[in-house]
Amino acid sequence: MVCTVMDDMTPAQDPLKKKLAQVPQKPGAYLLKDETGKVLYVGKASKLKNRLTSHIARAPAEHPRLAVLYSKLSDFEYIVTESDIEALILEANLIKLHLPRYNVRLKDDKKYPYIKITINEEYPRVFPTRDLRRDGSILFGPYTNAKKMRKALRAVTRIFPLRTCKGKLPKILCLDYQIKRCYGPCAGKIGKVDYRHMVDQMVNFLAGKDALVEAELERKMQKASDKMDFETAGRLRDQLLAVRETIRKQRVVFQDTTDRDVIGLARQRATSCIVLLQIRDGKLISRENYLLDSSAKTEDAELIRAFLGQYYKNAFFIPKEIVVPAKFDDSGLFESWMSQKKESKVKMVVPRRGEKVRVLELAKVNATYLLAKEISERGEKPIPASLSGLVKALRLKSSPRRIEAYDISNIGGEASVGSLVVFENGRARKDAYRRFKIKTVRGQDDFAMMSEIVGRRFKKLKAEGKGPPDLVLIDGGVGQLNSARKTIRQYFRGVPVFGLAKRMDELHLPRGGTLMLPRGSSALHLLQRVRDEAHRFAITYHRKLRGKKISESLLDDIRGLGQKRKRELLRYFGSVDRIRSATIEEISRVRLVGPELASRIHEELH
């Protein structure tokens, strides 16, 4: 059942709320659309009405990543399903169909090749394909590297030479038979039963069941030898030797024989890389990597959820255990769905210790390396070690490519100023520096001054439609940090804000407490550089204003020199120092200043 809201829509939420009355409390998938009908987001829910209500009623300010989505929301569709699992499958299919901007999705998913075995044919064929239509065939993949997939296909067809010719069997033997790349089923050189056994062995081999294939080949070879069928025994011996050579090259990563997929995640802004290590019978048989498009604010758990839905939707083989770095709200539903596909129990595991943690870290290291390579090939700058250190030390969700630091400088509340310095990729970006004169605070109140300059900055970012920095550093302690955090939350949520005190270089954490980074760490050195630069920039501006104020006060004590004449003098000469170096005749040329006053000014300044 598909229900579409057909009335005229507006971006306002009130009209949408009225249309929720027709939505049932049943499982299903939904599509959020803009005013042109373009699909912005696809989701699924156990109770459609509740989920759609939460999307429409939720305050965008609490969810920065979805703020733009909610501002464009003008229409929705929903499709009722019989169960939560059906809704999950439908969600994955709709994401594949519409490629919504605000969903996490595999990059170039439609281009990934698969290895196809046409088991519904009398003599099945094996070949590469990108056609995922359901015709009873078995698909292995997706392979992110077509060259790697063809290499794997060549290797497996040397061991199990299934026919590759298109359509029906030809009536004459082809070249593949002559070079021993096919056993010639078209000429009756191999019977249907033996050919089917070879197909089964190829399927098991591609599914990682090498030990099972090895045992079966050895048993059949011995049986053929006992019957003195030396031609069949020789063919099976060659296959057995090739399988054993493949097994010999595989790395043992687990002592048990449980089939596992281990998923490692690395992220940088809106691009994420997932590495999937396939462990079969305790051995690492394959590594595949996938790039995902997402917002920089997307949670790790949501990325994992999106990948699982899109990857296992077409998977022929699902292992008993999937090792992931984070679980998500409906992990149980995914386990039920995959168990249903596998027809036996599948569980997801987030390891805390032991060899699973070690292999998960291996997957993460591979993902980090491959993501850096991808970014390098695009011409983007790789993440410096200092930024990677900050991610780990501060438990950030992504690398702080852009850091903004703030400081206050004043003496007794006089000539109070603030500074903003910007570091991108670990380097100062001086053209983005800003300085502030304190306008609303009187007297000595550093906390209120910090709140003022941070508020002015983030209010401007919000008004210009720009996003916040990846990390904010406050030069000061708990008071300055809390003032800044409270102000920033009025404009953006989820911005990491830390304070770095000068006394012992202790880092004040957003939710209380302090952290002492190792003295030799590149992360601490970077934070010190950023903080010291903010302090330098603030105190330089403060000294300039204070010096100017002191110089200008020298003119205040000269009898007969009011505000208008003082303003004319400064406009003409530019500074008190230049007035001091001028002659009486030069001073008298200034408008409103006669020879007598010029003589008095010259005398007072010398």
Location of structure tokens 């890389």: 273
Inter-residue contact 274 to 290 (CB < 8 Å): yes
Output the CA torsion sign for 333, 338, 339, 341. positive
pLDDT digits (tens, 9 = 90+) for 436-472: 888 888 877 889 999 999 999 999 988 888 889 999 9
pLDDT digits (tens, 9 = 90+) for 269-324: 677 888 888 887 777 777 788 888 777 667 888 888 888 888 887 777 788 899 99
For residue 364, the model assigns a pLDDT of 87
Location of structure tokens 């292999």: 359
Residue 321: phi, psi to the nearest 5?
-135, 135
The secondary structure of 556-604, three-state, reads HCCCCCCHHHHHHHHHHHCCHHHHHHCCHHHHHCCCCCCHHHHHHHHHH
Q: Is 139 exposed, middle or buried (0-12, 13-18, 19+ CB in 10 A)?
A: middle
Which has more pLDDT, 149 or 488?
488
- Angle at which helices 192-206 and 210-226 cross, to 10°: 150
Entry pTM = 0.47
Inter-residue contact 473 to 483 (CB < 8 Å): no
Which has more pLDDT, 57 or 408?
408
Identify the structural domains of the chain with CATH numbers, from first to last: 2-103 (3.40.1440.10), 110-252 (no CATH), 260-378 (3.30.420.10), 392-545 (3.30.420.340), 557-604 (1.10.150.20)
3-class DSSP state of 179: coil
CA distances from 566 to 86, 545, 562, 578 (A): 81, 17, 6, 13
The count of C-alpha atoms lying within 13 angstroms of the C-alpha of 242, restricted to the half-sphere facing its C-beta, is 18
Report the 10 Å Cβ neighbour count for 287.
16
Q: Which residues contact 148 (CB under 8 A, 6 or more apart)?
A: none
- What burial letters (b/e) apply to 336-365, b meaning 16+ CB within 10 Å? bbbbebeeeebebeebeeeebeebbebbbe
Report the 10 Å Cβ neighbour count for 45.
23
Inter-residue contact 117 to 202 (CB < 8 Å): yes
Q: Does the pLDDT at position 60 exceed 50? A: no
Q: Which of 454, 402, 409, 400 is nearest to 432 (CA)?
A: 402
pLDDT digits (tens, 9 = 90+) for 484-516: 999 999 998 889 999 987 767 788 888 778 888
Inter-residue contact 495 to 488 (CB < 8 Å): yes
- Rounded CA gap, 44 and 424, in Å? 38
3-class DSSP state of 123: coil
3-class DSSP state of 439: coil
Helical (H) or strand (E) element with 418:
strand 414-424
Q: Average per-residue pLDDT in the chain?
A: 79
Q: Does the pLDDT at position 61 exceed 60? A: no
Structure tokens at 482: 């809390």
Structure tokens at 131: 């056609």
Q: Does the pLDDT at position 422 exceed 90? A: yes
Q: Which of 22, 10, 21, 451 is nearest to 2 (CA)?
A: 22
Structure tokens at 594: 């006669």
Q: Is the peptide bond before 170 cis (omega within 30 degrees of 0)?
A: no
- Rounded CA gap, 347 and 335, in Å? 6
- Strands 321-323 and 283-293 turn out to be unpaired
- Rounded CA gap, 100 and 53, in Å? 20
- Rounded CA gap, 481 and 473, in Å? 9
Q: Does the pLDDT at position 58 exceed 60? A: no
pLDDT band at 403 (very low <50, low <70, confident <90, very high): very high
For residue 472, the model assigns a pLDDT of 93
pLDDT digits (tens, 9 = 90+) for 206-228: 776 666 667 777 777 887 777 78
